Chain A
């Protein structure tokens, strides 16, 4: 009886509900921490660590201002994500098809990765100004490396037999790319999106920390210097929420667009 029930449930549940179930437990844990925070912190510390209810009320009170800043940060993160991803994907393709590109770009990519991105910001500002561009580029740079690495791996780790099959069909390189390599690499791309989606938000905020008038990063720095505890916490919470939202979008995208990836990206599916 129980088995049948289980089998039924398994059949009807899809990737999305699986994910929801998996996150249910951690939601409970977060609630527990919030409760402890609300009721367990001594009164004297409440200026450094405002109670969750106070943070919530603050978010509500300053919502219009926060919203403007959220939009700015989200726009920078989105543009940075798009450009960073595009650059990484195109360069990964160049990587796979040209040794010269691989030899030229790889050392540069490694140097870029090893640089603390925050150290780049002064240069970016002096080149691109204090406006949106310097933040977009910083966000793009945070996205670039994980996507490059994953994409190169995805494009090059196709099973040899799949390529041989295409060879026996006399497929040309363009067909092999569009019909095999690219779809094969898509799950790898979404794996990197789970990192780069929220990394882009973080990159934009770090950019704003240093030089900006608008954006969540700027707001956070302002609140900190003005000793506005509740505002600081409110903006940090919103920044976290934005970052989580970006991650969730990546997960949902993965489930909807590359559903076969659940079973791994292997082409020889079972025997």
Chain B
């Protein structure tokens, strides 16, 4: 069974001065343990796709299923975890208490069990020794590691990540990408990863979905056949470069199409 299935999704936002069609006829299937990136120019509806899957907003039309369940049912069974661009750490809680939050909300575990589980995950994301630190003592990258540990707390089969490293500098982002692949390898989760970095998408993904804007729809579905485990050497390989070129070409086509839409086909 597909871990996430989108069927003929459209999403219209009602604004004061009329409606905006953000997504139209979006179809897709994400397999178990698959790593899929969603790429497209900003404002094309990437976040909206994730928020629809998470049930944070309802679709105008179409059907969304996570392992056969509706988003609401999937959420009550904690089938997904959402990682936002901002790490969203609560400043009054220590790092480990932040990571424990999902299990606290679910309940049914002793505080010792919670702490042990959180500790193991902090070790997995490379934050051992920082359990008792306060979030404001961590660097940007470390906060994102903590946010990922928290997302893994309930062992969700689906991870939804909305530009989680978008605000990090490039060097930190490269390191976080390596870490993410290592962490993903240690879990059974399928990942839907939103980014606007082509290189990041190529490096991480099994498949890249290219989204066009206004209304957002999937215009390309590009399998990335790079060997795993992926190292920075893979990232610099000619193969990876060719994939990046391919994705870039798709994105350029979208941009040109949008410009023609706007200014007409034959500028003088």
Interface, chain A (partner B; CB < 8 A)? 159, 161-162, 164-171, 175, 179-180, 183, 186, 258, 260, 263, 265-271
Residues of A near B136 (CB, < 8 A) are 260, 263, 269-270
A80 → chain B closest CB, angstroms:
29
Q: List the one stretch of B100-108, B177-185, B213-221, B237-245 in contact with chain A.
A: B100-108
19 CB < 8 A contacts A-B: A159-B88, A162-B88, A165-B82, A165-B84, A168-B56, A168-B75, A168-B82, A169-B106, A170-B78, A170-B105, A179-B105, A260-B92, A263-B91, A266-B91, A267-B88, A268-B86, A269-B89, A269-B136, A271-B168
Shortest Cβ distance from B51 into A: residue: A164
Is A168 a contact of B105 with CB atoms below 8 Å?
no
What is the bound-complex CA distance between A167 and B160, given in angstroms?
Answer: 14
Is A271 a contact of B101 with CB atoms below 8 Å?
no
Is B86 a contact of A179 with CB atoms below 8 Å?
no
**Known contacts A175-B105, A260-B134, A269-B135: A165-B88 contact under CB 8 Å:** yes
B81 contacts A by Cβ under 8 Å: yes
Shortest Cβ distance from B91 into A: residue: A260
B76 contacts A by Cβ under 8 Å: yes
Is A170 a contact of B75 with CB atoms below 8 Å?
yes
Residues of A near B101 (CB, < 8 A) are 169, 179
Interface, chain B (partner A; CB < 8 A)? 54, 56, 75-76, 78, 80-82, 84, 86-92, 101-102, 104-106, 134-136, 140, 143, 167-168
B185 → chain A closest CB, angstroms:
24
Residues of A near B80 (CB, < 8 A) are 168
Selected contact of A183 from candidates B76, B86, B89, B90, CB within 8 Å: B90
A165-B88, A260-B92, A263-B91 given. 7 additional CB < 8 A pairs?
Answer: A168-B54, A169-B102, A170-B76, A183-B90, A260-B134, A267-B91, A270-B136
Is A268 a contact of B102 with CB atoms below 8 Å?
no
**Known contacts A267-B88, A267-B89, A270-B136: A164-B56 contact under CB 8 Å:** yes
What is the bound-complex CA distance between A168 and B76, given in angstroms?
Answer: 9
Selected contact of A270 from candidates B56, B82, B104, B143, CB within 8 Å: B143
Is A180 a contact of B91 with CB atoms below 8 Å?
no
Residues of A near B54 (CB, < 8 A) are 168
What is the bound-complex CA distance between A161 and B101, given in angstroms?
Answer: 15
What is the bound-complex CA distance between A161 and B76, given in angstroms?
Answer: 19
What is the bound-complex CA distance between A270 and B78, given in angstroms?
Answer: 28
